[in-house]
Chains A and B, each alone.
Chain A
Amino acid sequence: MSGLIRLYPRAWRERYGLEFEGLLAERTPSARDVVDIVLAAVDAHFEPQVPAVRLPRRAATGDRLAGAVAMAGGLTWCTAFIVAAITRPDDFGLPIFLALGLMVLSLPGRYLKAFLRPVAIAIVALGVSLALAFGNLLPWELAVLVPSIVVVGMLGPGALALIAARARVHRRGRWLLVALTMPWPIVGGFAVAIGLPATSAELVLFLVLPMGLAWIALGVRLARGIVITPSNPSNAIPLGGPA
């Protein structure tokens, strides 16, 4: 029932949210009351009684920089796949690696430290496959594909959750973001790897773009800064890992 409070504007929630939550807990609303709450929430949006105080956004220089790098990573990722879908080049590994590198760079040290092992595995996989490709022991296509799958599959979800945590996204929001965006590049990568005929460039595009868009959105959120309010837990600075 407390989820109903989310229907109300932020300013209203700041003023009445806790009390209203207590009321809902102690006086369980009937179906009719739920309708009343929804209508009152609509009213609160159209005729706000609690003035919305626009608190200044706060963004540390590091966050602005990290946000910009995350945005650049997401943009590079999306652009690389869109251009590849149009021009169908023989090799477009470099921009993909650049995008992944930017994404990793946008993560601060303390978050990266919590995720050290997958990062190390991804870097080793990248090094090994590039070395094999240089030695003509592995086709360049696979040399790009294998580390991409490793990076996206192992590092990707964690990195996305980390940048989302840094951008003060709720824990549930982080999981939702990862669940909605990350499986698809992995599925697409494996599909390409096993040579499924359905893996057209357009399909791959649909599979990989959500991840890039998520990085862009999180980068924007991070760079714009966070409104710090005492009663909004989503603004609490997360100190833990990606969970």
Chain B
Amino acid sequence: MLGAPVIAHPGPALGRFVEPALWVLIALDGGPLDLRALFDAVRALDGPIGHGTLVAALSRLERLRLVDSGVPISRGTMYRLTTLGRVAGGSASILKGRPA
């Protein structure tokens, strides 16, 4: 008999940052970005996201292993989608009506 599937519940983990987290996933779907570029990309997608909200969403995505950070470059750390994040990013794109 198969055990009950383990389902991750990102809702409570993302809290009120679900919406900005989805935009972050969509923004990173285009490739790795540093924090400033990510900020600009999300703002271009979704309007005036706050600095604090962006990093709060990003930190949650990192904790959920949907995003990881790469080798630091001169302007800062590069953020990119993990394999799981790419799946989630694709879903987010569809949900937001912005297919990659």
Chain A residues with a Cβ under 8 A of chain B: 12, 15-16, 18-20, 22-24, 26-27, 29, 32-33, 35-41, 43-44, 47, 49-50
Query: Least Cβ distance of B62 to chain A in Å?
Result: 7
B99 at interface by CB-CB < 8 Å: no
A-B contacts, 20 of them at CB < 8 A, read A12-B59, A15-B59, A16-B55, A18-B76, A19-B34, A19-B77, A20-B55, A22-B36, A22-B75, A23-B39, A27-B40, A29-B50, A29-B51, A32-B48, A33-B48, A36-B50, A37-B50, A40-B56, A43-B52, A47-B15
Closest 7 CB pairs of A and B: A40-B52, A36-B50, A49-B59, A37-B52, A19-B76, A36-B52, A40-B56
Between A12, A19, A22, A44, the greatest number of chain B beta carbons within 10 A of the residue's beta carbon is seen for A19
Question: Which of A35, A38, A40 is close to B55, meaning CB atoms less than 8 Å apart?
Answer: A40
Residues of B within 8 A of A15 (CB): 59
Query: Least Cβ distance of B77 to chain A in Å?
Result: 6
| Chain B contact residues, majority secondary structure | helix
Closest to B75 in A: A22
Size band of the interface chain B makes with A: 20 to 34
Residues of B within 8 A of A41 (CB): 52
B35 at interface by CB-CB < 8 Å: yes
Residues of B within 8 A of A49 (CB): 56, 59-60, 62-63
Residues of B within 8 A of A22 (CB): 35-36, 75-76
Say whether A32 contacts B36, CB under 8 Å: no
Query: Least Cβ distance of B56 to chain A in Å?
Result: 5
Known A20-B51, A40-B52, A49-B56; contact A27-B77, beta-carbon cutoff 8 A: no
Say whether A50 contacts B76, CB under 8 Å: no
Q: How far is the CA of A41 from the CA of B51 in the complex (A)?
A: 11
